[in-house]
Amino acid sequence: MGQAQREQARRAALINAATEVFGTVGFRRATVRSVCRLARLNDRYFYAAFENLERLLRATYAHHAQALLEQLQTAIAESTPTLDARLDAGLHTFFAFLRHPCAARVLLLEVMGVSPETDLTYQRYIFEFSKVILGMADVPPLHSEEAHAQARIVGLALVGAMTNAGTAWVLTGYQDTEACMVASCRRVLRGALV
């Protein structure tokens, strides 16, 4: 294994360990040492890969957000090309992802309000998720700035609704069935996208 591959493997181990640590004790109570212990790496490897714990949080969040984004895009693309089928495919994918509580906590809770830089990372992905949601509807091209602004705001509002529903689901220990979550969220999305 070459140097670049070893560095990549150590980075992946740190992100996996950070998912567990941030997802259990939280970012604010996490330490470099606790992440390194779980990753079975020396602290020097941490600092070779990340400047500080916040950079690791951003990388861990981006890892999970990108994975979910790709899973959503694949599920929607492979579904029947109707709005309800796309919504169901996307929602089942989202709620299946949230069944991993540590990754869900990183994605939904731990990244919020850490710093302006981390907020920017969060906002970039929220915008990408809103484009996925808006893309499920067959909307004619928008021609005015006002129409573009309204579509952007609706997309962000829908991401917020799904994020809040998902967060409540995780925090209540998945009290409601996934089928109930999908059906309820489908109503919200369908109402805004039709």
Which residues are CB-contacts of 52 (< 8 A; sequence separation ≥ 6)? Answer: none
Domain extents in the chain: 53-193
Residue 1 has pLDDT above 90, yes or no: no
Residues 65 and 125: beta-carbon distance below 8 Å: yes
Specify the amino acid at residue 18: A
User: What is the rounded CA–CA span in Å between residue 155 and residue 128?
Assistant: 10
User: What is the rounded CA–CA span in Å between residue 83 and residue 76?
Assistant: 10
Q: Which residue has the tokens 């997802």?
A: 23
pLDDT value for 187: 97
The reply to whether CATH 1.10.357.10 applies to domain 53-193 is yes
User: What is the rounded CA–CA span in Å between residue 45 and residue 29?
Assistant: 21
| Interval 37-58: pLDDT, tens | 999 999 999 999 999 999 999 9
| Percent of all residues in the chain with a pLDDT value above 70, rounded to a whole number | 100
Report pTM.
Answer: 0.94
Residue 138 has pLDDT above 80, yes or no: no
Residue 142 pLDDT grade (very low, low, confident, very high; cuts 50, 70, 90): confident
Residue 14 pLDDT grade (very low, low, confident, very high; cuts 50, 70, 90): very high
- On average, the pLDDT of the chain sits at 96
Q: Which residue has the tokens 């029947």?
A: 80
Which residues are CB-contacts of 49 (< 8 A; sequence separation ≥ 6)? Answer: 7, 10, 11, 14, 56
Q: DSSP per residue over the chain, as a string?
A: --HHHHHHHHHHHHHHHHHHHHHHT-GGG--HHHHHHHHT--HHHHHHH-SSHHHHHHHHHHHHHHHHHHHHHHHHHHS-SSHHHHHHHHHHHHHHHHTSHHHHHIIIIITTTS-HHHHHHHHHHHHHHHHHHHHTS-PPPP-SHHHHHHHHHHHHHHHHHHHHHHHHHHHTTS-S-HHHHHHHHHHHHHHHH-
Residue 128 has pLDDT above 90, yes or no: yes
